[in-house]
């Protein structure tokens, strides 16, 4: 009888441990890789990836232009775990490039997004240089006094 009770307790403990282990593996999420390149296909070393609800920006690898993760930490302390079937929105940006918002449906495996950023083109005559006059920038009075009026 004592052996039978020990076997029951052992089975109960191992089944609880097995359920706990399964619960932690499902909470880890699946990895997602975002690769950021320019129009020629070269990695953009200064690119960042960010979720719209997240305050932190994630830098890509400077050599490969890739960022990989399986969970994001939101400002309210919650976690956004990448699970299969969810739709994920990300903002991808870099200096001198237009920001791009991508939407992706997460799958069980092979989650890779290639994002091509377009260069930011500004016309030189589009912006005027402001001229702010200061008193010290005015012509001086030839008599040696202060600024002439």
How crowded is residue 29: how many other Cβ atoms within 10 Å of its Cβ?
19
Alpha helices in the chain (DSSP H): 2-26
pTM, to two decimals: 0.64
Q: What is the pLDDT of residue 121?
A: 85
For residue range 90-120, list pLDDT tens digits in order: 999 999 999 999 999 999 999 999 999 999 8
Task: Please report, for the chain, the start and end positions of each structural domain, with discontinuous segments joined by +.
Answer: 1-29, 31-121
Please tell me the distance from the alpha carbon of residue 27 to that of residue 13, in angstroms, as a whole number.
Answer: 21
The residues with which 91 forms a beta bridge, in sequence order, are: 50, 101
Which superfamily is assigned to 31-121 in CATH?
Carboxypeptidase-like, regulatory domain (2.60.40.1120)
For residue range 54-72, list pLDDT tens digits in order: 888 999 999 999 999 999 9
């Amino acid at each position: 009888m004592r052996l039978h009770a020990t076997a029951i307790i052992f089975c109960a403990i191992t089944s609880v441990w097995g359920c706990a282990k399964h619960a932690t593996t499902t909470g880890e999420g699946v990895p997602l890789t975002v690769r950021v390149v320019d129009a020629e296909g070269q990695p953009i070393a200064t690119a960042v990836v960010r979720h719209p609800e997240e305050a932190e920006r994630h830098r890509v690898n400077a050599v490969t232009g890739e960022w990989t993760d399986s969970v994001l930490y939101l400002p309210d302390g919650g976690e956004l775990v990448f699970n299969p079937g969810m739709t994920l929105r990300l903002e991808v940006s870099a200096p001198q490039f237009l920001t791009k918002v991508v939407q992706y449906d997460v799958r069980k495996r092979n989650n890779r997004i290639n994002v091509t950023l377009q260069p930011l083109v500004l016309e030189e005559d589009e912006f005027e240089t402001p001229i702010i006059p200061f008193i010290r920038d005015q012509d001086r009075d030839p008599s040696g006094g202060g600024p002439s009026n």
